[in-house]
Structure 1
Amino acid sequence: MTIHLHRGDLPTGIDFGDAVAVDTETLGLSLVRDELCLVQLSAGDGDAHIVQLDRSSYHCPNLKALLADNAIQKILHFARFDVAMCEKYLGVTLAPVFCTKIASKLVRTYTDRHGLKDVAREIAGVELSKQQQSSDWGAAELSEAQLQYAASDVLHLHAIRDGLSAMLGREGRSELARACFDFLPHRARLDLAGWPDTDIFAHS
């Protein structure tokens, strides 16, 4: 595994193919309060690219172009949060998306454990450490442990997607999953507009 740290933006010329694994790190879990700090990316080749964003401007044209490219699938776990963060701070809509958490909930109905650590263990056969999950991602200098943690969240998403895609196909739920994925940008906009917990489809 090689971790490439880029300050401010991706360099030109990096090819992630037709699908890129994406994750973000923020100052916290509030869309209103906590700023976007990092975007992690992987082509599924064992390398991770971590972009440490300039929070004074969020000027990162190469990263934004990649994330906005509709010809490239974005693979995320709990995409709802990352899609909202990228919409708010980078002004880009992530699409098309494959959310491994939604896919897990649609086919791993024999369990209620849909966190990335549990899904990675079962589907990809890897153990992920969550030791740095609560960490200061706004620090000017990131520790090696932080970089390792940030990278681990994207390195296995291609394999997880492939495993879950096979299960979705087996259970006849691929079309339903795709419809859920396609709705994610709208769900993220509802979160940003003030409806994070309200079920607008409910009768009450």
Structure 2
Amino acid sequence: MAKTGEIDLLLVRSGRTEWDDGGRVQGVTDLPMSESGRSALRASLEDVLHGRFTLSTVYCAPDEASRESARMLAEAAGAKVRVMNELGAMNLGLWEGMLETALEERYPTAWKQWQEDPESVNPPEGETFLEMEVRLLEAMSRIVEKAGSRRVAVVLRPIEFGLACCRLADKPASELCRELEDGPDVRPFVVNRAGLRELAEALRAQV
């Protein structure tokens, strides 16, 4: 149970797409969930919800996979869905749609850095990691401020999900890839509103 000044927040990684399944890098490209992604998400939600978890609102990124994921969660938890553009995926520029193996061959140094410390790399002609981080955390801060005492969920694409998990667990962004590889796709957090707001403000000052 969250204390005063805190809120229960459920973070959900959106269901996988064909690009995710095929090892392609996906940022802003809008794709639906694959059948395997849909099945995996349904199983993850069932493990967490057990038919007893209720939510007031499920916020999600605007892409098709995130919206469908949010609808699945909302139906299971008796919630409404709200789409927020600010929760959208990072623009990966020239990396968008490339196979990870091709990226490793073409940009070996940058790709290795991305795996180890994504904050230190900006995809060519794409959005900077800091820009994405600021808009994401500012949006999440607005969500928890608005929610009051109600439990809410946020559905995000993988990069944004991994980053949010890191920040809410007080881990550096360098743990992002490990979070995606080792952690579950549905995670509950107790979020301190003031702490999240201050983090977003501190990052905004760096832009």
TM-score by length of 1: 0.32
More contact order relative to length (CA 8 Å, sep ≥ 6): 2
Q: TM-score, normalised by structure 2?
A: 0.32
Higher helix share: 2
